[in-house]
């Protein structure tokens, strides 16, 4: 009968003494932990980590060739998702403290207590299982009803992708772990953060701060505060936002722009749940939940070294990616109605009606500024309109202008943006036929909209459709 390996990823035991390896393996297997890799040569550890995905490492410190402390530093820097438990005969307190500060999750001295070792490993396995469950939940399309739909009323949507995010939010809301929200500019990341706070039931406030462009000193002062006299202009003490958000949520926007020093300070807060106000030698405990947001790809930044890997993994215990508006076009009619009503109220005007062509026109645009751009577009249209029905002309002009700017920017970035990938170089007639088909498809067959996309009149488009013997969709 084939043995079922548990956990899914192996436990790596690193010790140069064979009898210790055998003892640990026997202890683990007795507890049902069967997925184990043994290593008696510290020089082989790096190759193992590069080739095998590891769950947890049991690491001795007194190793020949490469010491356990050196290996711990390598794992913390390059594989921060791996939990490390030190199992060693070294019982010096300073060594234990240094290992825990470096990133070890536990420190067990030899001869070890079997129950203590098993409990520590099972805790690591459970932490990794919870992280995996969260990853799986993000990808799952849930068909159940929201428990508290009122929490999400400020997010105007009928998109299935957004509804799945709402389900995920409800599942992680009461966790103390940080949340990383990613998405393009203008997608509504702060609204998502506020929804998480509302669903969490936390009694403290929701406090938002944009950390882009803040230097190390200002960052520390803003988050952690300072004592009176900490520096020349510190005439009074300052509590800092971490303290002000006590029992609540602190939302850090544009987290990808933090300097390395500020990243290190934030990492300590997340790891230890404590911080030092400037000028103080006494650490303060924090019960504030951190939610961070960015419009940059932190995975790439962490690979390049611009963003710390250990901080990235700490922040992304729960991860929400907010889709761009072009991936949730079903929301446009709802958003248009919402923004027209909102802008009309601000401008003290009657809410205008609009022709049905407007929705299709808006769906044909790509929205680099996402929902924020659509809101600005609707506000401008309400400001300009002079009759009961909204005019399409001003909106069409704005979209054509925006497309022109986008085309110029794209051309500047890549002069060969219209690269021909086919071995057959298309004729002008073939290219024209292809573009017309694409425009008609984009406009759902509406020739008025398609002609606008192509930069020609509707009459010209109609004539070309007839000449090219294309099926007229509208």
Q: Is 381 a residue whose pLDDT tops 60?
A: yes
Q: CA 175, CA 317: separation in Å to the nearest integer? A: 10
| pLDDT attached to residue 474 | 44
Question: Average per-residue pLDDT in the chain?
Answer: 86
**Residue 472: exposed, middle, or buried by beta-carbon count in 10 A (0-12, 13-18, 19+)?**
exposed
Mean pLDDT: which of 278-282, 429-433, 465-469 is highest? 278-282
Q: CA 14, CA 262: separation in Å to the nearest integer? A: 34
| pLDDT attached to residue 47 | 93
Strand ranges of the sheet holding 106-109, from the earlier edge strand across to the other edge: 36-39, 11-14, 56-59, 83-88, 106-109
| pLDDT attached to residue 384 | 86
Q: First-to-last CA distance in the chain?
A: 66
Q: How confident is the model at residue 410 (pLDDT cuts 50, 70, 90)?
A: very low
Q: Answer for the pair 29, 54: CB distance below 8 angstroms, yes or no.
A: no
| pLDDT attached to residue 459 | 77
Per-residue pLDDT tens over the stretch 434-463: 888 877 877 777 777 777 777 777 778 877
Q: CA 401, CA 185: separation in Å to the nearest integer? A: 20
Mean pLDDT: which of 3-7, 141-145, 388-392, 417-421 is highest? 388-392
Q: In terms of pLDDT, which residue wins out, 99 or 136?
A: 99
Topology alike, domains 11-125 and 149-229+238-323: yes
Q: How confident is the model at residue 417 (pLDDT cuts 50, 70, 90)?
A: very low
Q: Which two tokens stand for residue 444?
A: 């759902």
| pLDDT attached to residue 405 | 52
Q: CA 238, CA 435: separation in Å to the nearest integer? A: 61
Nearest-CA neighbor of 110 among 92, 87, 84? 87
Q: CA 3, CA 311: separation in Å to the nearest integer? A: 37
Residues found in the chain: 474
Q: Is 367 a residue whose pLDDT tops 50?
A: yes
Q: How confident is the model at residue 414 (pLDDT cuts 50, 70, 90)?
A: very low
| pLDDT attached to residue 255 | 93
Nearest-CA neighbor of 307 among 341, 256, 271? 256
Which residues have C-beta within 8 Å of that of residue 187, sequence separation ≥ 6? 322, 323, 324, 325, 370, 371
Q: CA 16, CA 35: separation in Å to the nearest integer? A: 20
| pLDDT attached to residue 141 | 46
Q: Is 216 a residue whose pLDDT tops 60?
A: yes
Nearest-CA neighbor of 121 among 32, 15, 16, 4? 32
Q: Answer for the pair 275, 284: CB distance below 8 angstroms, yes or no.
A: yes
| pLDDT attached to residue 411 | 42
H or E element that contains 291: strand 289-294
- b or e along 397-410 (b: 16 or more beta carbons within 10 Å of the residue's beta carbon)? ebbeebbeeeeeee
CATH topology of domain 149-229+238-323: Rossmann fold (3.40.50)
Mean pLDDT: which of 109-123, 130-144, 415-429 is highest? 109-123
Q: CA 52, CA 447: separation in Å to the nearest integer? A: 57
Nearest-CA neighbor of 168 among 202, 199, 128, 206? 199
Q: In terms of pLDDT, which residue wins out, 455 or 66?
A: 66
**Residue 153: exposed, middle, or buried by beta-carbon count in 10 A (0-12, 13-18, 19+)?**
exposed
Q: What is the domain partition of the chain in residue ranges?
A: 11-125, 149-229+238-323, 328-413, 428-467
Q: CA 379, CA 122: separation in Å to the nearest integer? A: 56
The C-alpha angle 434, 438, 440, rounded to 5 degrees, equals: 115
pTM: 0.66
The architecture in CATH of the region 328-413 reads: Orthogonal Bundle (1.10)
CATH 1.10.10.60 fits 428-467, yes or no: yes
Distance (Å) of CA 344 to CA 28, 33, 43, 390: 68, 64, 70, 12
Strand ranges of the sheet holding 249-253, from the earlier edge strand across to the other edge: 206-210, 249-253, 289-294, 179-182, 318-321
Q: Is 1 a residue whose pLDDT tops 70?
A: no
Crossing angle between the packed helical segments 458-467 and 428-442, to the nearest 10 degrees = 120
Lowest mean pLDDT across 69-83, 93-107, 336-350, 448-462: 448-462
* Region at 30 (left for phi over 0; alpha for psi -120 to 50; beta for the rest): alpha
So what CATH class is 11-125? Answer: alpha beta
Q: How confident is the model at residue 422 (pLDDT cuts 50, 70, 90)?
A: low
């Amino acid at each position: 009968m084939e043995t079922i390996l548990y956990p899914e990823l192996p436990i790596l035991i690193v010790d140069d003494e064979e009898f210790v390896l055998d003892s640990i393996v026997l202890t683990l297997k007795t507890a049902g932990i069967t997925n184990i890799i043994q290593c008696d040569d510290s020089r082989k550890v790096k190759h193992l980590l590069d080739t095998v995905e590891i769950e947890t490492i049991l690491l001795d410190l007194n190793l020949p060739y490469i010491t356990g402390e050196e290996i711990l530093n390598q794992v913390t820097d390059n594989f921060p998702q791996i939990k490390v438990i030190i199992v060693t005969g070294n019982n010096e307190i300073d060594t234990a403290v240094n290992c825990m500060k470096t990133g070890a999750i536990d420190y067990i001295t030899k001869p070890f207590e079997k129950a203590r070792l098993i409990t520590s490993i099972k805790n690591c396995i459970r932490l990794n299982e919870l992280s995996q469950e969260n990853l799986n939940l993000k990808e799952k399309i849930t068909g159940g009803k929201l428990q508290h739909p009122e929490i999400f009323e400020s997010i105007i949507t009928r998109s299935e992708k957004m509804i799945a995010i709402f389900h995920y939010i409800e599942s992680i809301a009461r966790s103390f772990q940080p949340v990383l929200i990613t998405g393009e500019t203008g997608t509504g990341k702060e609204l998502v953060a506020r929804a998480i706070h509302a669903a969490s039931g936390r009694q403290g406030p929701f406090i938002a701060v944009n950390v882009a462009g803040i230097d190390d000193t200002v960052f520390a002062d803003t988050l952690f505060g300072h004592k009176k006299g900490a520096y020349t202009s510190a005439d009074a003490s300052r509590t800092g936002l971490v303290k002000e958000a006590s029992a609540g949520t602190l939302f850090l926007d544009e987290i990808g722009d933090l300097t390395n020093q500020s990243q290190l300070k934030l990492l300590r807060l997340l790891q230890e749940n404590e911080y030092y106000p400037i000028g103080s030698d006494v650490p303060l405990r924090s019960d504030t939940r951190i939610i961070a947001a960015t419009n940059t790809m932190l995975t790439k930044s962490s690979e390049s070294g611009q963003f710390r890997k250990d901080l990235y993994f700490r922040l992304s215990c729960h991860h929400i990616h907010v889709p761009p508006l072009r991936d949730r076009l079903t929301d446009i009619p709802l958003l248009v109605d919402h923004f027209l009503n909102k802008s009309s109220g601000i401008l003290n005007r009657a809410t205008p009606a609009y022709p049905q062509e407007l929705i299709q026109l808006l769906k044909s645009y790509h929205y680099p500024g996402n929902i924020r751009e659509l809101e600005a577009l609707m506000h401008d249209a309400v400001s300009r309109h002079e009759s009961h029905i909204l005019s399409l002309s001003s909106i069409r002009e704005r979209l054509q202008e925006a497309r022109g700017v986008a085309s110029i920017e794209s051309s500047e970035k890549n002069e060969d943006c219209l690269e021909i990938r086919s071995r057959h170089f298309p004729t002008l007639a073939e290219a024209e036929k292809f573009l017309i088909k694409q425009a008609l498809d984009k406009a759902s067959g509406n020739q008025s909209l398609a002609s606008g996309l192509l930069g020609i009149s509707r009459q010209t488009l109609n004539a070309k459709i007839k000449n090219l013997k294309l099926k007229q969709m509208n």
